[in-house]
Structure 1
Amino acid sequence: MTNGLQASAKKPSAVTFTQILFYLAAAVNIVNGIYSLGSQGTVKKLICLAMIVVGVASIWVGARLSAPRASRRSLAISLSVVIIVLRLIEFAVWQSIGFLLGVILPVLIIWRLSSTEAKNWFSLK
């Protein structure tokens, strides 16, 4: 059994890149959520709170990707899908192309987690 330092030393670049993307997605969600919190309307305020919650969840999931467990990869892909859906909802509510461009980060995350090196690393015990 390897300890945390040994596992992170063997971590492939695809996983490190994915972690960075999750942290960027978290920053975008939290900043957008706080910035848009002043919007009028209950639905908009609830979406802003959802953005902040998803941002915090992105930080948590990104940090957990350091250990090679298949469940963590699945959780990361699921959260990416949630981010995509949230971005589509934001676009429908605010009609801003900027929200739609936010779909790029989770798509990149799913793409990198679907790579062979990431799949092989997460299948380790």
Structure 2
Amino acid sequence: MNFNADGRVDAKASPVASIFLPRIRRGALWTVGEVHFLATPLRERFPAVHKISTAFSKWLSTQECVYSNKRKINPFSYYLEGSVQNHDPEVFAFESALSALNAGQYFVTEDDTEFRLDAICKMLGLRGVECRDS
């Protein structure tokens, strides 16, 4: 592990991954699950972790792609709010998330701020979706 001057792990220089499990925010929004392999450059610094990252990406691509910046038409983009559409990686859905999208569930990212969630909830209120206060 590599550490910053303040004693925290330097994620860009260490062989670590971060995982954000889906959760409910504001009672009406689900966060997308996220996995990040943070070291850069991953392939050169940590070839074994790069191999895991590549295998994970290959496996993930067997799931339904529900959003990609590379496609003009994304049928689920209506339900992907906040920063979800601002990230480069494609968004894949497991069966439960795909069912939720088909049922009209809205998704945000883990790192959407409270201010951003306020704006999203106001907009969703116009669609009849009720959010709870933070």
- Fold match, TM over 0.5? no
Q: Which protein has greater RCO, CA pairs closer than 8 Å, 6+ apart? A: 1
Q: Which has the larger radius of gyration?
A: 2
TM-score interval, smaller chain:
0.3 to 0.5
Per the normalisation by structure 2, the TM-score is 0.31
Q: From the two aligned structures, give the one with the greater strand fraction.
A: 2
TM-score computed with the length of structure 1 as normaliser: 0.32
> Whose helix proportion is higher, 1 or 2?
1
